[in-house]
Amino acid sequence: MTFSVKTKLLNALRYLVLGLVALIMLYPLLWMIAGIWRPNDEIFTSAGLMPQNPVDGFENIRNGWMVQGRSLLFYFGNTLRFLIPRVVGQVVSCVLTAYAITRFEFKGKKIVFALVLATLLMPEVIFRIPLFQMYSGDNPFGINLLGTFMPLWLENAFATGSFFVYMLVQFMRGIPRDLDEAAKIDGCNSFQTLTLILLPVMKPAVITVGLLTFMWGMNDFIGPLIYIRQPEMRVLQQALRVGSEAGDGGVIWGQIFAMSVMALIPAILLFFVAQRYFMDGIASTGSKE
Amino acid sequence: MKKNKLWLLVATFAAAFLFLAACGDSDDNGADDYDNGDDTTADEVEDNEDAGELEGTITVSWWGNEGRHDATNEVIDLFVSENPGVTINPHYGAWDGWQTAFAGDLEAGQEADLMQVNFNWLQLYSPFGTTFADLEDPAIAAHLDLSNWDSQYIDVTRQSGVVQGVPVGMTARVPFMRADIYEAAGLDVQDINTWDDLIAAGNAIQEHHGDSVFALSPLGPQSMAYMVFSWLEQYTGRSFVDADGQLNYSLEELTDGFQLIQDFIDNGVMPDGAFDSDPINAENPMWIEGAYGGVSEWDSSINAWINNLGEGGEDLVEIRPHFTMDGAQLSGWMSRPSMVFSISNNSDYPEVAAAFLNFMLTDERAIEIMGTDRGVPLNTVGRAYFDALGLGGHVVAANAIHAEAETTTMNAIFEFPEVREVYESQLMEIFNGTSTVEAAAEFVYNNIQAVIDSLLD
Amino acid sequence: MSTQVKKKRAKFQWSDAYLYLIPWLIGILVFRLYPFIEAFRISLFNQRIGRPTEFVGLGNFTEILFGDSMHGNLFRHSLNVTFRYVFLTVPLVLIFALFIAFILNFKIKGIGFFRTAFYIPSILGGSVSVALLWRAVWGNRGLINSFIVIIVNGLNFLPFVNIYAPEGWVPVGWMVQGGTALVVMAILRAWQFGSAMLIFLSALQNVPATLYEAASIDGAKKWRQFFTITVPIITPTILFNGIQLLTAAFQEFNAAYLVPAQPGGPNNATLLLNIFIYQRAFEQNNFGIAAAASWIMFIIVMIIATIVQTTSSKWVHYND
């Protein structure tokens, strides 16, 4: 065979494999979307994608949009109320920490890094109850933070996201020191070096930290479950659960699927748009130490 | 030099923090040092016979579906409009995860003033009657009229003699049968009364419909246990444990009881563990497709199952009384409160909570608003109003079928999670074919008393 | 004497880094070390809401590690289950993720679409809908078994082939048999390989193209290049991903809780450690045992991670 035919064949093969795997990955989403147009009994007995006895899917969508008199958008707004401080706090504190670890020599550096890694390995389940007690007033200041969104983002503002510290450390090790030197010669102190010189270079990594924090935060259910009780403060995940509760008349699963799919849209859109930065962002975490 | 000071500061902070945290923890369980009923409010209230000017802010928490939320909120609004000095903050949500949040709150002393509580949780979180407020406390009793409840129902919620909650309704597992499946096999569901009838029906149904259709369904660990222990009650005339918490059955009796499950499996009443990979709930595909001739479900939960059958589902399902045997010594019905409402021991306004609770459960308008959203009311006043509403449907009918019967109230010990773990795991082994009936019964017989004893001290 | 004093001073040199680390320090003391130690303290007590708290010292630990109670037996069983799950899942995810990343590494149109598509399972997370679908796929009458039945029926048309396949035949009880149930859980986790794949992909894109060109000129095929060039260069990424996945797999909860017919699976075949802990803490109101089990989980993860880290020098090549 000629070279170009072989390449074309190989390319076709790649697309085929990719397409098949993509189908497997997307299948649940497609199945859920198909389920919006299905009656309950069909949903539970059919794993295929074509509704046999279609119901009014658009009604399901309309009904699924509101939970307890408020729209999903409202609950999304509540999610943002803790998610945005969380993202900002996480990014700022992790960058500061990574900066210290990679750009300075100081006593205890090894211990600090070891502790970062150690906290990475701690199971989250250990923290739940003690932290809850602490936030509820069992602290030296006697402050009770329940009823606010603070318990959901406070710790992120203090570099507890060890995964991201680790990732930023990897990335920063790949940035040449020449930049720092040049900044110093121009009269910058360490803070100015960070903000004016290094940060622009780190943009992809920083966006990655923000993006992942956002995505994981959207799916966070246990956190809001424990800390948020007032109905008007409920976040998207909680609203989904409330909307899915089987009741006296049972539940319309098509509506639940409609709700779930709509709740996924922000995350999917955000990811699709940002995946370009995302890719460059994690770029230097692998091939360097 | 700077460095020294900084480390010193940090170390002090850390040490102080740890020290304070350690000290701060000793009284968080609510178990040890809470006084009951020494509130100053007690004196004030005793002087006003009428509730008069109620004042205070309380939080009320409950789980449920949207219907229940809407109805309860409406009741709250009604109460607040008639008691302008009162503010009520509702906390409600889905069942999913509710216990986690509830337990966390209790642990940290952050629970709501008035809480909807799953019945098992009374024994789970307040075995000695110390976690929730004593509802017989004069301050509370002035607003919550416990005489509206038959005393046997109030006794059920006593933990170490202290009334920890007020039952909203009584529930039991009721057999709901698919009349159409039986009819096709030439049987009338109304004729299936005894266990033997059921076993014969199992064979008949399999003969007609084939190996994949059953007289009942894979019951699940909880229902299997209820069936077995109901059978044992009928057979021996004794319930699970005696007054001292000793297991009431001999090894032979236990073995005979467990044999029931094996008989079910061998005779087409229920499949074995390999048949169905889905949980036995309203969404089960085999139920929807008509492979299961009946389920055993709480009286108020049947509607979801019926709904999923599609159009005309409610005509296919019939309610039956509990299966019995000739010469049954007890009815076999084991009932328990569906849910209770409890008042927090840390509440600043227990009398407001009590007044609202009383309103919600006994006021005529409140009953009308709630409908069946919390099942059929148990207290006599509420029940009268409820009956006057003339509501129909499966929930009401299912409740009627056991409410009038002689039932045994499920013993708290029977529902302790650790105890359940012992007998449910063995029943599951029989179900999955990984253990013989004799070995399973023996395991339970040998181990359960130790577990019970360790929980009773 | 003066030299000694000078040496001491030199050791305690101030660095601006300490200022930058203040948030981290507060964070780790208040939000990590304190709850951590508190959890250890709880594990030394018989701590249950509604009961007086008694000090039991290491009693909780000895009970779950060596005791013959339900707690003990179930704990050790769940350790066994979790270990098997982790050693099933981590290699599976690593291999899938690397394989897909490799294919996605070529210049392909629509790469943004494919990346998003492959990441979607991870976005779906541990939701109820995913659990429903997983049962619909792997259930006794699910998609996979239906497929097998179709194939077998087709084969039965051939002469000499007579496979017994009656009406309602269930080829494999994927979710009802202990052995396969765990594998199905592992596949569910592996299906959500999105994050690992993206990390591999970026690492692959960082491998200098010149190396490949040189190898091609020398006549090496693509696959050989993959194993001799690519893999060694990305070994640090493999390590990073491996440790991440290891920790995450040990803490798996959602899928194993939602999917099986009974939580914990048939006869507790999929009773992962985190489910055991959750059940003790929130369903059985036994925080002492739950805390003790969490601590043991931590120690195990630490040990394994340390082993992986220390042996890593044997197979990981750093580039600087």
Spell out the SS3 assignment of B72-130.
HHHHHHHHHHHCCCEEEEEEEECCCCHHHHHHHHHHHCCCCCEEEEEHHHHHHHCCCCC
CB contact under 8 A, A132 and B69: no
> C156 in a domain, yes or no?
no
Q: Which A residues in the span 258-277 are in contact with C, Cβ-Cβ below 8 Å?
A: 260, 264, 267-268, 271-272, 275-276
The 3-state DSSP class for residue B292 equals strand
Of C28, C133, C234, the CB nearest to A31: C133
CATH 3.30.56.10 fits B173-332+416-456, yes or no: no
**What is the average per-residue pLDDT within C240-247?**
86
| CA-based torsion, B230, B231, B235, B241: positive or negative | negative
Nearest CA-CA distance, residue B183 and chain A, Å: 22
Mutate to test the interface with A, among C21, C137, C191 (most CBs of A within 10 A): C21
CB C73 within 8 A of CB C271: no
On the question of pLDDT at A276 being above 80, the answer is no
Beta bridge partners of B61: B91, B115
> How many domains in chain C?
1
CB atoms within 10 A of CB B382: 23
> C110 in a domain, yes or no?
yes
pLDDT attached to residue B12: 43
Find the residue in B nearest to A44 (Cα): B285
On the question of pLDDT at B19 being above 70, the answer is no
Please state the domain extents for chain B. Answer: 3-170+337-403, 173-332+416-456
**Greater pLDDT, C3 or C98:** C98
Here the tokens at position C116 are: 């998003």
Residue B313's contacts (CB-CB under 8 Å, 6 or more residues apart) are B306, B307
**What is the average per-residue pLDDT within B379-395?**
90
CB contact under 8 A, A287 and C206: yes
Cα B67 to its chain centre, rounded Å, is 20
In tens, the pLDDT along B304-339 reads 888 888 788 888 999 999 999 998 999 889 988 989
> C29 in a domain, yes or no?
no
CB contact under 8 A, B25 and A133: yes
Chain A residues whose beta carbon lies within 8 Å of the beta carbon of residue C138: none
**What is the average per-residue pLDDT within C48-58?**
90
In tens, the pLDDT along C161-177 reads 777 777 777 888 898 88
CATH code of the domain covering residue C253 = 1.10.3720.10
pLDDT attached to residue C226: 78
> Which of the residue ranges A11-25, A165-179, B28-42 would you say has the lowest mean pLDDT?
B28-42
CATH 3.90.79.10 fits B3-170+337-403, yes or no: no
Residue B346's contacts (CB-CB under 8 Å, 6 or more residues apart) are B30, B34, B109, B111
Report the distance separating Cα A64 and Cα A78, nearest Å: 18
Report the distance separating Cα B317 and Cα B301, nearest Å: 13
Chain B residues whose beta carbon lies within 8 Å of the beta carbon of residue A68: 66, 69-70
> C93 in a domain, yes or no?
yes
On the question of pLDDT at B375 being above 80, the answer is yes
Report the distance separating Cα B72 and Cα A288, nearest Å: 60
CB contact under 8 A, A250 and B21: no
On the question of pLDDT at B416 being above 80, the answer is yes
Q: What is the mean pLDDT of chain C?
A: 84
Report the distance separating Cα C254 and Cα C265, nearest Å: 13
Residue C160's contacts (CB-CB under 8 Å, 6 or more residues apart) are none
> C86 in a domain, yes or no?
yes
| DSSP secondary structure letter of residue A26 | H
On the question of pLDDT at A95 being above 60, the answer is yes
Chain B residues whose beta carbon lies within 8 Å of the beta carbon of residue A129: 104, 107
Chains contacting C with at least 3 CB pairs below 8 Å? Answer: A, B
Beta bridge partners of A70: A67
Report the distance separating Cα B167 and Cα B296, nearest Å: 22
pLDDT attached to residue C296: 93
Chain A residues whose beta carbon lies within 8 Å of the beta carbon of residue B94: 238, 241-242, 244-245
> Which of the residue ranges A144-148, A160-164, A273-277, C300-304 would you say has the lowest mean pLDDT?
A273-277
Encode B29-59: b = buried (16+ Cβ within 10 Å), e = exposed: bbbeeeeebebebbeebeeeeebeebebebb
Nearest to C186 by CA among C104, C252, C284: C252
Report the distance separating Cα C82 and Cα C84, nearest Å: 5
- Burial class from Cβ neighbours inside 10 Å (0-12, 13-18, 19+) for residue C293 reads buried
> C10 in a domain, yes or no?
no
Phi-psi region of B305 (alpha: psi -120 to 50; beta: other; left: phi over 0): alpha
**What is the average per-residue pLDDT within A191-208?**
84
Question: What would the DSSP string read from start to end of chain C?
Answer: -HHHHHHHHHHT---THHHHTHHHHHIIIIIIIHHHHHHHHHHTEE--TTS--EE-TTHHHHHHHH--SHHHHHHHHHHHHHHHHHHHHHHHHHHHHHHHHHHHTS--TTHHHHHHHHHHHHHHTT-HHHHHHHHHHHSTTSHHHHHHHHHHHHHHTSTT------TT--S--TTTSHHHHHHHHHHHHHHT-HHHHHHHHHHHHTS-HHHHHHHHHTT--HHHHIIIIIHHHTHHHHHHHHHHHHHHHHT--HHHHHSSSSTT-GGGTT--HHHHHHIIIIIS--HHHHHHHHHHHHHHHHHHHHHHHHHHHHH-----
> C281 in a domain, yes or no?
yes
Report the distance separating Cα C106 and Cα C109, nearest Å: 9
> C296 in a domain, yes or no?
yes
pLDDT attached to residue A118: 85
Nearest CA-CA distance, residue A45 and chain C, Å: 8
> Do the domains spanning B3-170+337-403 and B173-332+416-456 agree at the CATH topology level?
yes
Is residue C139 less than 8 Å (CB to CB) from chain B? Answer: yes
Residue C80's contacts (CB-CB under 8 Å, 6 or more residues apart) are none
Is residue C38 less than 8 Å (CB to CB) from chain B? Answer: yes
Strands, E, within chain A: which ranges? 66-67, 70-71
pLDDT attached to residue B27: 33
On the question of pLDDT at B408 being above 90, the answer is no
Q: What is the mean pLDDT of chain A?
A: 84
Chain B, chain C: beta-carbon pairs less than 8 Å apart: 129
On the question of pLDDT at B32 being above 50, the answer is no
CB C194 within 8 A of CB C121: yes
In tens, the pLDDT along A45-81 reads 777 788 888 888 899 999 889 888 889 999 999 999 9
Is residue A21 less than 8 Å (CB to CB) from chain C? Answer: yes
Chains contacting B with at least 3 CB pairs below 8 Å? Answer: A, C
Cα A247 to its chain centre, rounded Å, is 31
Question: Which contiguous run of DSSP H or E holds residue B369?
Answer: helix B364-370
Question: Which contiguous run of DSSP H or E holds residue B302?
Answer: helix B302-307
Q: Record the pTM.
A: 0.85
On the question of pLDDT at B13 being above 70, the answer is no
pLDDT attached to residue C10: 54
CB contact under 8 A, C70 and B451: yes
Full residue range of the structural domain in which residue C206 is found:
74-139+174-315
ipTM more than 0.90?
no
Residue C291's contacts (CB-CB under 8 Å, 6 or more residues apart) are A126, C39, C40, C42, C43, C47, C60
State percent of chain A over pLDDT 90: 18
Helices C194-205 and C235-250: crossing angle in degrees, nearest 10, is 170
Chain C residues whose beta carbon lies within 8 Å of the beta carbon of residue B107: 49, 287
Nearest CA-CA distance, residue A197 and chain B, Å: 28
Chains contacting A with at least 3 CB pairs below 8 Å? Answer: B, C
- Using pLDDT thresholds of 50, 70 and 90, give the confidence band for residue C83: very high
Report the distance separating Cα B116 and Cα B119, nearest Å: 9
| DSSP secondary structure letter of residue B250 | -
On the question of pLDDT at B7 being above 60, the answer is no
Helices B417-432 and B251-266: crossing angle in degrees, nearest 10, is 50
Is residue C175 less than 8 Å (CB to CB) from chain B? Answer: yes
pLDDT attached to residue B3: 43
Mutate to test the interface with C, among A17, A43, A96, A158 (most CBs of C within 10 A): A158
- Using pLDDT thresholds of 50, 70 and 90, give the confidence band for residue A2: low
pLDDT attached to residue B24: 33
> Which of the residue ranges A279-283, B415-419, C145-149 would you say has the lowest mean pLDDT?
A279-283
CB C96 within 8 A of CB C193: yes
Please give the single-letter amino acid code of residue A168: L
Chain C residues whose beta carbon lies within 8 Å of the beta carbon of residue B10: 25, 29
Cα-based angle C246, C251, C252 (whole degrees, multiple of 5) = 100
Nearest to B256 by CA among B62, B444, B384, B26: B444
**Greater pLDDT, B119 or A170:** B119
In tens, the pLDDT along B109-135 reads 889 999 999 998 998 999 888 999 999
Nearest CA-CA distance, residue B359 and chain C, Å: 28
> Which of the residue ranges A281-285, B59-63, B444-448, C263-267 would you say has the lowest mean pLDDT?
A281-285
